[in-house]
Structure 1
């Protein structure tokens, strides 16, 4: 669970930093800001499937088989 949480936080942190940088650089052209923010929102919409893939499948442990001692 630790690696999954770290990956999720890093993905969202990088995206937030990118959004802040884009708004700062394109502050003089509001139309471009809207387009770039829309594109970043599109990427954020694609994140839930990525996060599900990062989680992986939880495999239930198989029940223990009876152990035969070999002595009769």
Structure 2
């Protein structure tokens, strides 16, 4: 992914683009972990893993049927 970012950004802005990507990645990871922790605290471990599994199935279906191969 970082190679793609460095290819599409200007050479003088490469470090800023990679830093911005890493920052957003960290924020999204923190939000996902907080949401999983909230579900775990409110409903227990089983609910957390069931919801995560269901989300994984939906995302897999999306990638299999709705995303075209660009290569």
Higher helix fraction (1 or 2): 2
Q: Which has the larger radius of gyration?
A: 1
Larger relative contact order, structure 1 or 2 (CA cutoff 8 Å, min sep 6): 1
